[in-house]
Structure 1
Amino acid sequence: MSEILNIPIGTVKYRLNYGKKKMREHLEGFVHEGR
């Protein structure tokens, strides 16, 4: 549990933003392929 708390806040935000970006790109690509 302490290992999770030792992760810097910046790293968490970076991973969250990266995940949102990847998910958005994936959804956009899915929509384009559907058309």
Structure 2
Amino acid sequence: LATFIVEKEATLDEDSMIVAHLDSLKESFDYYFSE
């Protein structure tokens, strides 16, 4: 059970990193297309 919790936290951390990366990509696209 402890292992599952650790893996779950790691997955959440990776998900948040991916979301943050997508957010920055979206901002780059918004800036690029607004020119």
Q: TM-score, normalised by structure 1?
A: 0.75
What is the aligned-residue identity percentage? 0
Structure 1: unaligned runs, 5 residues or longer: 1-5
Which structure dedicates a bigger proportion of its chain to helix?
2
Structure 2: unaligned runs, 5 residues or longer: none
Runs of 4+ in 1 over 2 A off after TM superposition: none
Query: How large is the Cα RMSD of the aligned pairs?
Result: 1.6
